[in-house]
Structure 1
Amino acid sequence: MSAALDNAELAEAVRMLRDSAAGLASRGGDRRRVRALRFQPPGFDPAVLAAMAEQGWIGLLLPEQKGGAGLGMTALCALAEELGAALAPEPLVPAMLSGSLLAAAGADMPLERLVAGEALVLAAWQEAPSTLEAPGTPGAPRLFIPQAGGASAFLVPVRQAQGLELWLQPAEGAALQLEKTQDGGFFGTLRPEGGALLGSIGEDAVADALEQATLATAATLLGVMDQAFVLTLDYLRTRQQFGRPIGSFQALQHRAADLQIQIALSRASIAAAAALLDDGSTSRAARRAAVSRAKARASDAALLVTRQAIQLHGGIGYTDEADISLYLRRAMVLANQFGSAALHRRRFAAEAHDDMLGEDAA
């Protein structure tokens, strides 16, 4: 985050981001748009992603000299929450991850095109399920690339004797396989085949970019569960049984209160992790522990809230025609992106222990 921003300025920047998000992807959202894009390649609207780029969202974390806004994780998490609540399928967080990697590698030309919305470059870093490591194994298939069918190129970290190199592989002619996801999008599996060498990239830079994407995904899950809860409360207030709204039944009120607590705890852990990353003065172990705590909680809570929301809607909630089902589907896909809850619980235990011992890898 820019050091020039004080608390009041940051609060105003966050408010403006939420307002601008409402213009492109409202919380109350046009879920007809989401339904129309489901299972139709590339799974999102390139024009909407380009509009997000025009708003400066792809470069939100980048310094101003790199064409970015110079904001931090608190601002990004607010934006990601709004997009999660709107079920926006556009791959903004993956695009921002690519922006961070390109900036770290000093690849200014592809970075400029990405930030301007002229090209969608997606990072092909993952080689195994539920991991937050980018080993860069030469020739190994890169898995779970979100909305890969809409990419113009892929960023492929490759390990050489001297360290990690970042390669830019054009999407045209690439060995790419697409698989449908529960929410109507697509994951891509890429078999790396050369491309253009952009330069070397530090492993810490890759790790930091993945931490940011992980926390932004947790914030997206927060938006998903929060809006699912809002829809459920509306349903409980309007659905009549025995001559009165079902929301007046004490048993359902208790269930709703439990869900609200889970949402509040997730929001608090995400806000704390974002503040820690923006501060930057704490140990690397402490930052990783905070991100893992937020992601584990958000993944578990989002699945709990959306599943309970389905049940509280009754039989209609189990149908694909019910909008509430869209939120469960999105939570199921996002919950394991950038590491499952189980992985992050293990990592939290390890990193929090290391931090208590004073092991500072920063």
Structure 2
Amino acid sequence: MKNEIEDWEENVQMLTDSIGAVVPPDGSVSRVRKARHVGAGFDTNIWHTMAEMGWLAITLDETCGGLGLGLREATALLKGLGKGLTPEPITPAIMALRLMADAGEKILIDEALSGEKIILAAWQATPDSVDPSAGVSIKDALLYGKKISIEGGLAAHAFVVTTPHGICIVPKDSKGLTIKSTPMHDGTFTTQLIFEGVKTSSLACTNMERSLFEAQLMHCAYLLGVSERAFEITLAYLRLRKQFGVAIGSFQALQHRSTEIKIQLELARASIAAAAGAIDTGKSHRHCQMNAHRASTRVKMLTRLVAREAVQMHGAIGYTDEADIGLYVRKAMTSVGLYGPEYRLRENYMALREIQV
């Protein structure tokens, strides 16, 4: 047990150190600013760097060319990327690889791991949906329906579409596929896929739900990173800004509000750690899913709290485009609703809790 614990902790440290290849140690977000509203909303050169670092392969089994690491390592990586507002769509890419591996698709996995092709998961049917099989149907080998909210979809070469029968791999230039882009407030883009008789074949995939709640957990680790950095910037401002001759951070009312954020941050960290640990140590599917839903709900609530308080404590400057905190607020606003709203996750958690085992 000791060696196992030491192994994953050592892996987390190495991954944390490697994040400096993409996220500047000084906290600069100048690269993120330059990528906003340009092209697909992220830098494909950075994408190749991520592929070379092995980040896309982090949870993929070694037999498929992956690193074979767990969710504890993956969430540590995503938290670090969240601190730097990294716009590259790594979570849907990791999810797509997991789905393809489960379905036995080897060739595209190799192309995705090399960075040669960007392949993203398309799983969500409606903004409040957490059912990966919803939104599409297959009739006579033709795919109909739609999927929404695919991060980075403008740069994708293909999509892994979840269906009631498994997965379909749909190239971006497929006949009958319409790709609609939506510019987001943080400078990135999401895409909606409309399938009108797209010729395809379905691959059996038994772990769609697991792939989804693992992606939900990685996404909430990213949000935790966004929240942590936003709080750090806010605390620095409270020490700097003065009123009545003293730093506003000395005001008791702001200290109490800051303390509440600190408490919620610690609870969020603990929730993610518990959920990731449950998955990595082989707990039951139900137990892992419940922990992932609980962590996602808590982190989404935290993200809204930190964004709201950051604007309140900074004043009007907190929402300006020039201030770094404004970028974090925008990222929080656009990303918190992805991978399911809090109320739907709570509903699913309670439904799972009621199941007699």
Q: TM-score range by the shorter chain?
A: over 0.9
- Show the 5 A alignment for 1:113-132: 113-132=111-130
Contiguous gaps of at least 5 residues in structure 1:
none
1-side partners of 2:319 and 2:61: how far apart? 45
2-side partners of 1:39 and 1:341: how far apart? 28
Matched, 1:296 2:297: yes
Equivalent residue for 2:351?
350
- Show the 5 A alignment for 1:113-192: 113-135=111-133, 136-138=136-138, 139-159=144-164, 163-164=165-166, 166-172=167-173, 174-192=177-195
1:169-201 CA-to-partner distances (Å, cap 9, x unmatched) read 221364101011121111111123535536322
Q: What amino acid sits opposite 1:176 in the alignment?
A: I
Question: Against the structure 1 CA distance between its residues 218 and 27, is the aligned structure 2 distance closer, same or farther, given a 3 Å change threshold?
Answer: farther
Native 8 Å contact 2:162 2:208 kept in 1: no
Q: What amino acid sits opposite 1:137 in the alignment?
A: S
Equivalent residue for 2:141?
none
1-side partners of 2:3 and 2:205: how far apart? 29
1:301-360 CA-to-partner distances (Å, cap 9, x unmatched) read 111011101111122112222211111111122211111111111111111222xx21xx
Percent identity between the two aligned chains: 37
Equivalent residue for 1:42?
40
Question: Against the structure 1 CA distance between its residues 315 and 191, is the aligned structure 2 distance closer, same or farther, given a 3 Å change threshold?
Answer: closer
Question: Against the structure 1 CA distance between its residues 225 and 28, is the aligned structure 2 distance closer, same or farther, given a 3 Å change threshold?
Answer: farther
Normalising to structure 1: TM-score of the pair?
0.92
Matched residue count: 347
1:153-175 CA-to-partner distances (Å, cap 9, x unmatched) read 1112344xxx32x3222213641
1:1-52 CA-to-partner distances (Å, cap 9, x unmatched) read xx99611111110001011012211364331211111122201111111101
Q: CA deviation at 1:109?
A: 0.4
Equivalent residue for 1:111?
109
2-side partners of 1:231 and 1:60: how far apart? 30
2-side partners of 1:290 and 1:157: how far apart? 23
Say what the alpha-carbon RMSD is for the aligned residues.
1.7
Q: What amino acid sits opposite 2:137 in the alignment?
A: T
Equivalent residue for 1:199?
203
2-side partners of 1:328 and 1:132: how far apart? 25
- Show the 5 A alignment for 1:36-115: 36-115=34-113
- Show the 5 A alignment for 1:301-340: 301-340=302-341
SS in 2 for 1:123: strand
2-side partners of 1:221 and 1:308: how far apart? 16
SS in 2 for 1:68: coil
Q: What amino acid sits opposite 1:53 in the alignment?
A: A
When structure 1 is superposed on structure 2, of 96-105 and 177-186 the one drifting more is 177-186
Normalising to structure 2: TM-score of the pair?
0.93
SS in 1 for 2:145: coil
SS in 2 for 1:230: helix
What stretches of structure 1 move > 4 A for 4+ residues in a row? none
Equivalent residue for 2:276?
274
Q: What amino acid sits opposite 1:257 in the alignment?
A: T
1:230-274 CA-to-partner distances (Å, cap 9, x unmatched) read 001111111122222111222211111111111111111010000
Contiguous gaps of at least 5 residues in structure 2:
139-143
Question: Against the structure 1 CA distance between its residues 59 and 319, is the aligned structure 2 distance closer, same or farther, given a 3 Å change threshold?
Answer: same
1:31 pairs with 24, 29, 32, which one?
A: 29
